[in-house]
Structure 1
Amino acid sequence: MWEYGNEPDLFSTSAQGPVRPPTWNESTYVSQWLNGSREIKKGVAAACPDLASYGFLAPSFAGVENHLDPVTTWNDGLDVDKDIELISSHNYIGGATQPGVTLQGTLMNHTSTVVSVTRQLNVSNILASSDVPFILGETNSLYNEGAPGLSNAYGAALWNLDFALYGASKSIRRIHFHTGLSFRYQAWQPQDTDVVPKGTKPPYYGNIAAAAFLSNLTAATTTITEIPLSNALESAYAAYVNGALKRIIIINMHQYNYTVNGTSTVLNPVPRPTRNYTITIPTNTTAGSSGHYAPAALPKLATLRALRANGSDAITGITYDGYSYNYELDNGKPVRLHNVTVGHTVKVADGKFTVPVEDSGAVMVDFGA
């Protein structure tokens, strides 16, 4: 898969210095892109004649509201050669130095995620008739490498999890989380630098929880559906495998800091709240209009798997289902921590049960195979 040009919608307006004139428009960009992409194909054919096939991901715009419009670009013939395999767009929730950016208001906030992703959906829905999958080819929390205390804290893992699952529920086919050496929002640091030591970072745990919830996407047809909640600081999703309900996840983004104000060395003296979520599984056994149905025999027991840390401001001590991926323990391999309670189950009575989720935490409800 090839990408020819990164964020060309900023070429004539970039704060780093424009490389195209203000008059540069979609049709001119398309002409230049086709000229370049065709030359790439010629070069590949000459150098790698045995290469079976390849395609492009494009247009890789920085967003959907910049100097070049993605829909106009597509309609102007960007894919006239039918070699674009993925429609790629970039998305960030905000900027690292934007005024007013906070962990609670910007990242640990489902409404903030919905507003941001909806801008992308306004484009993906229009382009759906092309039958080319729409992806977020570059995304993360706060552009310009993230912000300390925000993008590199446990709260960002909760954002990461919510963002990934919300995108999946809206048919965004892939999400590529941007990373770089010593970036604040990176999932891991591959080597020591004078700024950041080698190690696993908080956002990685959001990836782990999302992967566990999605499970093996190659073994069956998995569909993610959002469960609407009324509070902007909470979200929930259901995973259906071949139409049957298999997993539910609840993400409680009410901020609880381990330290006073999240910036102090003094531990927070306020007890951590836990909220109870009552779930009722539908009793219908045939597929409805959505194509989803509950198991013919309602489960009697569910296993709870928690994503947790001491607080949203935590940088270390994060686990998913009792496992730590800290580099210091076993070079980043999963290590079961014996001081973390796992294997908690809840009884399901007539399809109804209650799940406790602490503030700044997430719990997956697993109904088994």
Structure 2
Amino acid sequence: MRLPLTQGLLVGRATQSPVSTNTSITLPASQPAWAEPLSPNLAGFSIEMDRWPLWSGAEVGQPNSFTNQVLQNLADRTGVPPFFRVGADSEDRAHLDLSYQVMNATFPAPTADVPIPEASVISIGRDFYALSANLLSGTPFMWGINLKLGNLTDTVAQASLVADTFQGSRKDVTKNVKLVNLEIGNEPDFYSIQGTGYSSSWTPQNYSDTWREYASAVNKVIKLDNGGTTYSAGAFATFSSGLEWNTGVTLEAGIMADSDTRSKTSHFAEHQYSGAFGYGPTALPGQLMDKGTIRGNLSTKWADVKAARSTGLSFILGETNSYANHGMPGTSNTAEAAIWATDYILQAASMGIERLHFHHGFGYRYNLFQPAAGADDGLNLTSRAHILPSYHSFLIVNEAIGTSGKASVAELGTTNSSLSAYGIWENGNLARMVLINSAPYVSVNGTLPAARNSFSVNLANWKDGSNATVKRLAVPYTNAFTGLTWANQTFETESGKPEGTVYEEPLHNGVVSIDASSVALICFK
């Protein structure tokens, strides 16, 4: 997401002093009634499509091996590949031009703040959507098509090419991946403030009427049904428009009034960021991952989840990440982002948010990984593709979800303001627990505090003879760019393959220690 110049928000609290008091967490005797189902696709990707070939591989049949390796690491933990949404701002700057084999894009000049800008115009060629086939077998996709241009003919033409790619003459090429969702337009609540010909009369009512018109036309060229490909409605930024533009208001405006289109729509999507780089002060270390800040930001979505569910739709964050405008240097590209994202994803899941698509663009500071060399994201690794610290959050979350396809999550109460805890149940039994210590441990001009705060967590109701192990996310310090390990393995390799031997420490007597700025995954055997 790139915010319009008139918009900005930074939600957060002052950095907390580390809390080192030992604490207890009561292990529930049974799965809580309010536990929410965990989708294996909970942690997904959103890709700015102007440089899509960098992620997928430049030609059909020539995949990006680094992309597929880092995705395979994640798939190994849930049994399914991550969900890919491709589109975002770029989908509303795109038009069809089949004279190109893959695509053509025009980019504005780079600036100090935006060294790798988004394309201003994109021409979609014959193989553009077919590049989806280069990703891991089984990868689910959401593709976005243009609404903002206001050219129904071109939007339908884009949908026709999507249909031909996944359902028509090229379905044998894409048979190993899945078109799950189609999105018409990105962040329509911003259209009237972006100088694109939309006036202040552009409202949720106008949007709903327009979206239904476009969906009705698209229905004629692509097969949609609730057992296969479905619409993803909304995609609102809600950055400053949340009171006027939200799920409930739009449903009341009649976006689902057409029964045929409603039967072909599975969920409503909104976007969410913790703030925006370039607006207001730079975030202090610890502010992004602050427990109260995370819950305060996500609490704004409670009503939207409820509104969607009341009509039989699920609710997703179709685009999210730390700070809009491609991330905040020194925060979005550090270990803090990994700790934040772990808590953020599991908190969202415990609220009933089915899926979160973390936004990516080539060179963006909040990426989980860069798919190719040349990305100046602050890690000084421009010579090669590489992961960023936040990649570790997906490893942890996916491992917490597991491979059963039957997991549920609930937050567990703690009395420590820097400790978050989540229980994961399978078949009614507590299978895993995630502990997150968001107290900062900060390097200032290369100097660390003399000691790293930690505390012990006593698992009340622990039964003698119980068997459990602990895996840990180890980070050098909160604002570290590299040097992170998960369960004693490093994923910061040139190939994306992990190196090192997995280590699970035995849990004795139901007591686990946890350092400031770290995460622990407890696995009950």
In structure 2, the gaps of 5 or more residues are 1-180
Q: Closer, same or farther in 2 for the Cα pair 1:163/1:269, shift >3 Å?
A: closer
- The match for 1:205 is 392
Matches within 5 A, 1:155-304: 155-193=336-374, 195-196=376-377, 197=382, 198-218=385-405, 221-257=406-442, 259=443, 261=444, 264=445, 266-281=446-461, 300-304=466-470
CA contact (8 A) 1:226 1:237 kept: yes
- The match for 2:507 is 346
Greater relative contact order (Cα < 8 A, sep 6+):
2
CA contact (8 A) 1:309 1:318 kept: yes
Question: CA shift at 1:104, angstroms?
Answer: 4.0
Question: CA shift at 1:95, angstroms?
Answer: 1.0
Q: Closer, same or farther in 2 for the Cα pair 1:68/1:227, shift >3 Å?
A: same
Q: Closer, same or farther in 2 for the Cα pair 1:194/1:187, shift >3 Å?
A: closer
Q: Closer, same or farther in 2 for the Cα pair 1:222/1:194, shift >3 Å?
A: closer
- The match for 2:210 is 32
Write out per-residue CA displacement over residues 157-181 of structure 1, whole angstroms, 9 at most, x where no aligned residue: 0001000111111111111111110
CA contact (8 A) 1:323 1:336 kept: yes
Number of residue pairs aligned between Structure 1 and Structure 2: 333
Give the whole-Å Cα distance in 1 for the aligned partners of 2:208 and 2:465: 54
- The match for 2:302 is 121
Q: Closer, same or farther in 2 for the Cα pair 1:271/1:37, shift >3 Å?
A: same
- The match for 2:251 is 74
- The match for 1:293 is none
In structure 1, the gaps of 5 or more residues are 283-296
Give the whole-Å Cα distance in 1 for the aligned partners of 2:299 and 2:449: 39
Write out per-residue CA displacement over residues 283-317 of structure 1, whole angstroms, 9 at most, x where no aligned residue: xxxxxxxxxxxxxx775232110011111111111
CA contact (8 A) 1:13 1:67 kept: no
Question: CA shift at 1:76, angstroms?
Answer: 1.9
Question: CA shift at 1:54, angstroms?
Answer: 2.1
CA contact (8 A) 1:154 1:315 kept: yes
1:336 alignment partner, SS class: coil
Identical pairs, percent: 26
Match of 2:488 among 312, 318, 322: 322
Question: CA shift at 1:327, angstroms?
Answer: 2.6
Q: Closer, same or farther in 2 for the Cα pair 1:149/1:86, shift >3 Å?
A: same
Write out per-residue CA displacement over residues 225-267 of structure 1, whole angstroms, 9 at most, x where no aligned residue: 101223432211111111101111110010002x3x2xx2x33
Give the whole-Å Cα distance in 1 for the aligned partners of 2:341 and 2:284: 12
Match of 1:135 among 294, 299, 316: 316
Q: Closer, same or farther in 2 for the Cα pair 1:217/1:25, shift >3 Å?
A: farther
CA contact (8 A) 2:441 2:449 kept: no
Give the whole-Å Cα distance in 2 for the aligned partners of 1:21 and 1:185: 32
Give the whole-Å Cα distance in 1 for the aligned partners of 2:308 and 2:375: 45
Normalising by structure 1, we get a TM-score of 0.85
Consecutive aligned runs of 4 or more in structure 1 exceeding 4 Å deviation: none
- The match for 2:152 is none
CA contact (8 A) 2:326 2:366 kept: yes
CA contact (8 A) 2:335 2:479 kept: yes
Question: CA shift at 1:194, angstroms?
Answer: 5.7
Give the whole-Å Cα distance in 2 for the aligned partners of 1:103 and 1:250: 23
- The match for 2:329 is 148
Give the whole-Å Cα distance in 2 for the aligned partners of 1:67 and 1:332: 43
Give the whole-Å Cα distance in 1 for the aligned partners of 2:235 and 2:334: 28
Give the whole-Å Cα distance in 2 for the aligned partners of 1:98 and 1:226: 32
Give the whole-Å Cα distance in 1 for the aligned partners of 2:511 and 2:291: 22
Give the whole-Å Cα distance in 2 for the aligned partners of 1:303 and 1:357: 14
Does residue 84 in structure 1 map to residue 265 in structure 2?
yes
1:323 alignment partner, SS class: coil
Q: Closer, same or farther in 2 for the Cα pair 1:269/1:27, shift >3 Å?
A: closer
- The match for 2:222 is 44
Question: CA shift at 1:270, angstroms?
Answer: 1.4
Match of 1:99 among 268, 275, 280: 280
CA contact (8 A) 1:147 1:184 kept: yes
Question: CA shift at 1:53, angstroms?
Answer: 4.3
Aligned-partner residue type, residue 373 of structure 2 = D
1:28 alignment partner, SS class: helix
Write out per-residue CA displacement over residues 304-333 of structure 1, whole angstroms, 9 at most, x where no aligned residue: 1001111111111111111111133xx011
Aligned-partner residue type, residue 347 of structure 1 = H
Question: CA shift at 1:90, angstroms?
Answer: 0.5
